[in-house]
Amino acid sequence: MSSSTPASDLAPITGAAPLSLCAREPHVPADRLVAEMVPPPRFDSVRFSTYIPDPNQPSQTEAVRVLESFAAGLGGAHATGGGRRGFFGFGRAAKAPKTPAGPRGVYLDGGYGVGKTHLLASLWHATPAAPELKAFGTFVELTNLVGALGFQQTVRTLSGHRLLCIDEFELDDPGDTVLVSTLLGKLVEAGVALAATSNTLPGKLGEGRFAAADFLREIQGLSAHFRTLRIDGEDYRHRGLPEAPAPYADEQVTRAAHATEGASLDAFPQLLEHLAKVHPSRYGALTDGLKAVCLTGVVPVPDQSTALRLVVLADRLYDREVPVLASGVPFDQLFSEEMLNGGYRKKYFRAISRLTALARDAQRLVR
């Protein structure tokens, strides 16, 4: 059924009343923040073997090879103990200093949609260590952990880990960048291996083109601990895929919400207002148990603060593979030209890309 289906041809609304995101006010204890530092559900089953390199981009194949070797090098005792291999073939004697020579981590440099998160999650899965000895989270989730536990407790909590993976390192947030850089310095001293991806700094055009230099500069003294892996390519979510579906009518979205078990139904403007009342660290919990998100009356976001909150929600929905069915304007009209040309442009393009993918997933909900 298309968005042009007359309302008179639609079946009566049936089924249980849908859920509402606006009715949820989740509270997330600090221990849950630690326990949830694993790859999100969308990346539960990804492995290096399921990453399909673009044959026209040899850097993608090379990245898989290097990361597989990196993961294999993380076997054995913790880096501060004896008897383990160094990273990338650097040996380590039993009584060597805490910080061995050579790179202590990898940085995946590339534009959005080239599979950096897939590769980062694959590294987490491939590292031969118990899940509780590996941590995976976005930059925002890591700063939220520091806020919940305090800096020193966060250092103590993560120092015993074999690997810390940080997705979407926020280079456009100077204060938090310094905070996390200091944290990473402590963890490197404790022998924790690092892996990261990042966005680009404000005003840096050409997705990923300047990100490596920016990342290494912004993390200050940690530059020597990272090996940069360039991953070229276009957004895989649009390789050979159809254009995003047109928005549906309000009546279609409402009926789909009532007919889909575990779906939520909210008016988009009211949802934006509600997001301002919930800390972004809780957006994952906000979506707990949802099988679909249905939104009516989607309009362009009114300001940058609202837009950035929507970006975080889009990330959490994408991580959890929650389809999004909507009426109103198409998702590529959510952000103004000024926003798309500004310092947070990469965030907005990522949100558009991810919401478009989720909108395609939601087509099956309309009967």
pLDDT in tens, 160-200: 999 999 998 877 777 788 899 899 999 999 999 999 998 65
Q: How confident is the model at residue 24 (pLDDT cuts 50, 70, 90)?
A: very high
Mean pLDDT of 106-113: 83
Q: How confident is the model at residue 233 (pLDDT cuts 50, 70, 90)?
A: confident
In a domain, 297, yes or no: yes
Mean pLDDT of 223-232: 85
Closest CA to 351 of 304, 323, 316: 316
Mean pLDDT of 94-101: 40
Q: Which of 200, 231, 262 is the last residue of a domain?
A: 231
Q: Do residues 108 and 175 share a domain?
A: yes
- Above 50 in pLDDT, residue 339? yes
The tally of CA atoms less than 13 A away on the side-chain side of residue 278 is: 26
- Helix segments in 296-367, DSSP class H: 304-319, 337-340, 345-361
In a domain, 367, yes or no: no
Mean pLDDT of 243-264: 92
Q: So what's the pLDDT on residue 75? A: 78
- Above 50 in pLDDT, residue 207? no
Q: Do residues 221 and 270 share a domain?
A: no
In a domain, 96, yes or no: no
DSSP-assigned states of every residue in 105-158: EEEEE--TTSSHHHHHHHHHHHSSS-GGGEEEEEHHHHHHHHHHH-HHHHHHHH
Mean pLDDT of 128-155: 90
Q: So what's the pLDDT on residue 70? A: 95
What is the spatial distance between Cα 230 and Cα 109, in angstroms, rounded to a whole number?
A: 5
Q: Do residues 196 and 279 share a domain?
A: no
Closest CA to 210 of 194, 218, 234, 70: 218
What is the spatial distance between Cα 141 and Cα 275, in angstroms, rounded to a whole number?
A: 17
Strands (E), the chain: 105-109, 134-138, 163-169, 193-198, 226-230, 263-267, 292-298, 324-328
Q: So what's the pLDDT on residue 78? A: 58
In a domain, 268, yes or no: yes
Q: Which of 231, 259, 279 is the last residue of a domain?
A: 231
Tens of pLDDT, residue by residue over 273-314, are: 999 999 888 898 999 999 999 999 999 999 999 999 999 999
Whether the CA torsion 52, 38, 107, 66 is positive or negative: it is negative
In a domain, 42, yes or no: yes
Q: How confident is the model at residue 41 (pLDDT cuts 50, 70, 90)?
A: confident
| Tokens describing residue 161 | 């880990």
Q: So what's the pLDDT on residue 263? A: 97
In a domain, 85, yes or no: no
Q: Do residues 279 and 204 share a domain?
A: no
Mean of pLDDT over the chain: 83
Q: Do residues 168 and 122 share a domain?
A: yes
Give residue 288's Cα distance to chain centre. Answer: 17
- Above 90 in pLDDT, residue 350? no
Q: So what's the pLDDT on residue 9? A: 53
Q: Which of 231, 260, 278 is the last residue of a domain?
A: 231
What is the spatial distance between Cα 166 and Cα 146, in angstroms, rounded to a whole number?
A: 14
Q: Do residues 141 and 217 share a domain?
A: yes
Mean pLDDT of 97-107: 63
Asked if residues 73 and 104 have their Cβ atoms less than 8 Å apart, the reply is no
Mean pLDDT of 138-146: 87
Parent domain of 282: 250-362
Mean pLDDT of 135-161: 90
Provide the residue type at 154 as one letter: T
Q: Do residues 226 and 255 share a domain?
A: no
Q: Do residues 356 and 300 share a domain?
A: yes
Q: Do residues 212 and 328 share a domain?
A: no
In total, how many domains does the chain have?
A: 2
Q: What is the CATH number of the domain that holds 223?
A: 3.40.50.300
Mean pLDDT of 251-280: 96
Q: Do residues 278 and 222 share a domain?
A: no
In a domain, 86, yes or no: no
Q: Spell out the residues 6+ positions from residue 77 whose beta carbon is closer than 8 angstroms to its own.
A: 83, 84
Closest CA to 105 of 164, 21, 171, 148: 164
Q: So what's the pLDDT on residue 278? A: 92
Q: Do residues 36 and 171 share a domain?
A: yes
- Above 60 in pLDDT, residue 92? no
What is the spatial distance between Cα 367 and Cα 363, in angstroms, rounded to a whole number?
A: 9
What is the spatial distance between Cα 344 and Cα 225, in angstroms, rounded to a whole number?
A: 27
In a domain, 83, yes or no: no
Q: Do residues 164 and 274 share a domain?
A: no
Burial class (CB in 10 A: 0-12, 13-18, 19+), 83: exposed
